[in-house]
Amino acid sequence: MVTIDELKRHYLFTDEDAGLLASLLPLAEAHKGKITDDLYDYLLGIPETAAFLQDDTVLQRLKTSQQAWLTDLFSGRYDNHYLRKLEKIGTAHVRTGLNAHFVNCAMNFVRQALVNLIRETYADREMRRRLTDATEKILDANLDVMSASYLEEELKKEFVSHRLESKLIRATERFTYGLNLILVLALAGVSISVVAQFAWDLVHIFQGNIEKGVLSALGTLLILWMMIELMGNEIKNLKGGKFNILMFIGVIIVALIREVLISTLRHDDLATQTFLAGTLLILGVVYFLVAKSQKDGAAR
Ligand code: HEM
């Protein structure tokens, strides 16, 4: 946000300009009615701006506001209070949802009306030039302040959405991290029960049920091996590594191999054993295809 002094400095607006503008006040007062009427005829001719001017009370209020703005334009006093007024107009436009483009067009319309008025009124060329220069400067400074409201609104929106976005991303990341942590802990818990299952299988061997014990122990060891791989994968994930789908297919395959071993021990019927073997084959093919596509992807 610029200060009034900066605004004047940047537009090379001098006290002399302020004096020249003040000398134009009587002329502006005499013509402000006509200028605002013409401006509103012009705005009513554009569908996008006419939409804002359908209500008669709004139209009247606007004309009064516009005339007051014209009076201020030639008051010769351009201080902080004046700057606040301009900012208020800018915010009023942003609030109503008016496109900044039409404010520029309207300003161009007012500029032409004022320049023509000066040209018709002042015969002296040098005086005309100085009055026109001062008018142009104050109109440009006005447009500058009014347009800044649009820019600030945009920045505010961007700032809010950017802040919201990064907060949301950070919260989701923390949440996912938490979930992964829970998963690792759960896997550790399950691994302990797998170890217990392995011990139980060994008991079977010592009890003399060697075939059942050995096959079950083998299946349990397979599961334990997969659990270790899974946990390793999850820990890698927690450290920022990539999620590995192959690992999960592997777990299902191992679980199925164990099921096949147990199924043989149980002497399940042929249909069940064929079903398990078929599923295992399909999973094997899926594992092979995923592994191949991952390898191709890494090579590319
Ligand atoms: C030279 C350019 C313009 C100037 C100097 C200007 C001036 C003003 C002023 C002084 C106000 C009153 C602000 C307040 O409440 O303090 C205002 C509000 C408003 N202006 Fe403009 N205006 C301009 C262009 C336009 C254009 C092109 C439109 C399009 C129709 C427009 C529509 C409005 C509307 C809808 C409001 C709010 C009215 C209300 O509900 O009170 N203005 N403008």
Q: What is the per-residue pLDDT across 251-277, written as a single tens digit (0 to 9) for each?
A: 888 888 888 888 887 788 888 889 999
Which of 163, 194, 228 is the last residue in one of the domains? Answer: 163
Domain match, 211 and 286 both: yes
Distance of CA 262 to the CA centre of its chain: 55
Domain match, 58 and 147 both: yes
Q: Return the pLDDT at 299.
A: 63
HSE, CB side, 13 Å, CA atoms: give it for residue 110. Answer: 24
Lowest mean pLDDT among 228-232, 237-241, 245-249, 279-283: 237-241
**How many whole angstroms from 128 Cα to the centroid of ligand 1?**
29
> What are the structure tokens assigned to 201, written together?
């299988």
Domain match, 40 and 159 both: yes
Q: How confident is the model at residue 248 (pLDDT cuts 50, 70, 90)?
A: confident
Ligand 1 within 6 A of 84 CB?
A: no
pTM of the model: 0.60
Domain match, 222 and 96 both: no
Residues 6+ apart with CB under 8 A from 254: 222, 223, 225, 226
Residue listed under structure tokens 């067009």: 105
Q: Which of 66, 82, 86, 144 to mutate to test the pocket of ligand 1 (most atoms within 8 A of CB)?
A: 66
Lowest mean pLDDT among 6-10, 11-15, 48-52, 231-235: 231-235
Domain match, 11 and 156 both: yes
Does the residue 171 lie in any domain?
no
Q: Return the pLDDT at 28.
A: 96
Give the start-end residues of each E strand in the chain: none
Domain match, 138 and 242 both: no
Domain match, 48 and 120 both: yes
Number of domains making up the chain: 2
Does the residue 47 lie in any domain?
yes
Ligand 1 within 6 A of 62 CB?
A: yes
Lowest mean pLDDT among 73-82, 137-146, 163-172: 163-172
Ligand 1 within 6 A of 254 CB?
A: no
Does the residue 183 lie in any domain?
no
Q: Return the pLDDT at 46.
A: 95
Domain match, 123 and 261 both: no
Q: Which long-range contacts (CB under 8 A, 24 or more apart) does 32-38 make?
A: 32/67, 32/70, 32/71, 33/67, 35/70, 35/110, 35/113, 35/114, 35/117, 36/63, 36/66, 36/67, 36/70, 37/63, 38/109, 38/113
Domain match, 123 and 214 both: no
Ligand 1 within 6 A of 92 CB?
A: yes
Does the residue 293 lie in any domain?
yes
Domain match, 211 and 272 both: yes
Lowest mean pLDDT among 117-126, 151-160, 186-195, 253-262: 151-160
Please answer whether residues 135 and 21 qualify as being in contact, where contact means their C-beta atoms are separated by less than 8 angstroms.
Answer: yes
Does the residue 168 lie in any domain?
no
Q: What is the per-residue pLDDT across 60-97, written as a single tens digit (0 to 9) for each?
A: 999 999 999 999 999 999 999 999 999 999 999 988 88
Q: Which atom of ligand 1 is nearest to the CA of 53?
A: 30
Ligand 1 within 6 A of 96 CB?
A: yes
**How many whole angstroms from 259 Cα to the centroid of ligand 1?**
78
Does the residue 177 lie in any domain?
no
Domain match, 215 and 133 both: no
* Phi and psi torsions of 232, nearest 5°: -60, -45
Q: How confident is the model at residue 184 (pLDDT cuts 50, 70, 90)?
A: confident
3-state helix, strand and coil shares in percent for the chain, rounded to the nearest 5: 90, 0, 10
Ligand 1 within 6 A of 287 CB?
A: no
Domain match, 136 and 251 both: no
Output the domain CATH number for residue 26: 1.10.490.10
Q: How confident is the model at residue 209 (pLDDT cuts 50, 70, 90)?
A: confident
Other Cβ atoms less than 10 A from the Cβ of 117: the count is 19
Q: What domain range is 248 assigned to?
A: 207-299
Q: Which atom of ligand 1 is nearest to the CA of 96?
A: 35
Q: Is the pLDDT of residue 4 over 80?
A: yes
Does the residue 191 lie in any domain?
no
Which of 129, 163, 197 is the last residue in one of the domains? Answer: 163
Please state, in angstroms and rounded to a whole number, the distance separating the CA atoms of residues 132 and 127. 8
Which of 163, 189, 223 is the last residue in one of the domains? Answer: 163
Q: Return the pLDDT at 127.
A: 96
